[in-house]
Amino acid sequence: MSSRFAHLFCLSLVFAGTAAHAAEQVNLYTTREPKLIEPLITAFKEKTGAQVNTVFVKDGLLERVKAEGDKSPADVLMTVDAGNLLDLVDGGVTQKIDSKVLDSTIPANLRGADGHWYALSLRDRVLFVEKDLPLETFRYEDLADPKWKGKVCIRSGQHPYNTALVAAMITHDGEAVTEKWLRSVKANLARKATGGDRDVARDILGGICDIGLANAYYVGQMKNAEPGSDARKWGDAIKVIRPTFANTKSGGTHVNISGAAVARHAPNRDTAVKLLEYLVSPEAQALYAQANHEYPVRAGVKLDPLVASFGTLKVDPLPLVDIMKNRKLASQLVDKVGFDN
């Protein structure tokens, strides 16, 4: 064998070995806290034998993948906010996939029509209420009612959870109505819009406010905290109501998502798709519900008992992609009314 052919033969063995190895692994870039997805990753490994290499990227996921270019090892990109996920799509770092499993499992309003992104779990934006307050139903629009003046707590209006809600309001009712609503909600605040979602429950316990907006899964975290801990006391001080939008044609409770996409230059594309399909399986969706008290995106999955106690979740049917188109305007309105001042 000539030296030239020997060299080519050796290269072919290297690439063949690399391909074989790559077929048994998948590289996950995620902005989710590792401990929250560890049970899912472990279960996937046990079921398929594939190795999952997890890279936690707190900030700058889009910038990192762009900088890595076509040499990026990323296979799956996972985020905890629909806006961040759509930024990856708009940034050109995802690819279209065709999966009957994903398309048949995930409702159309919770996935990209072009196959570039998929919701994996739901995070409903609910009302925390002082547990003894005689209140059973609520609409997001009711936060502007003057009867709640000095009684509302909420985190920064510029936080992605809240800009997404404001964007949904714009999509439902238009810019002018939403600006008026924001001004009225600001007038009803009991304190500066700041802190986190759990701080809403803390301040309800402290008598600072009576109601506030937060993500439902925080209740599970608080009510399952160590007995006697501050978090447990906060959770025990509240009850939960799932608000809806007043628009009766397309009303429902606002949800954000955790979701994922396959990276544009994924070296392990088939295993990446296999991971996404596993994450919407009944087994994995049950783990989502148990591990972080999130609402499954798959219908028919047994809910965490605490989450089930909040009642039926009727998801706002507006496509997330339409809502997220109004994120920039939502952020501008938050600043315009001085919501966080």
Residue owning tokens 């798709």: 273
309's CB contacts (< 8 A; 6+ apart) are: none
CA dihedral 327→332→336→341, nearest 10 degrees, is: 80
Distance CA(186)–CA(180), nearest Å, equals 10
To the question of whether residue 217 is assigned a binding role by annotation, the answer is yes
Two tokens, residue 15:
């690439």
Its sign, for the CA torsion 264, 39, 302, 227, is negative
Distance CA(144)–CA(332), nearest Å, equals 19
Kindly state the DSSP code that residue 122 receives in the 8-state scheme.
E
SS3 assignment for 94-115: ECCCCCHHHHHHCCHHHECCCC
CA angle 27, 31, 33 (to 5 degrees): 100
- In a 3-state reduction of DSSP, which class is residue 164? helix
Distance CA(325)–CA(238), nearest Å, equals 33
Residue owning tokens 């972080």: 292
Provide, for the chain, the percentages of residues in helix, strand and coil under a 3-state DSSP scheme, each rounded to the nearest 5.
Answer: 50, 15, 35
Alpha carbon separation from 311 to 31, 37, 126, 300, 308 (Å, rounded):
29, 26, 12, 15, 6
Its sign, for the CA torsion 138, 139, 144, 145, is negative
To the question of whether residue 161 is assigned a binding role by annotation, the answer is no
Its sign, for the CA torsion 287, 289, 294, 299, is positive
Cβ neighbour number for residue 3 with a 10 Å cutoff: 7
Which residues are annotated as part of the binding site?
Answer: 217-218
Please state the residue numbers annotated as binding site for Fe cation: 217-218
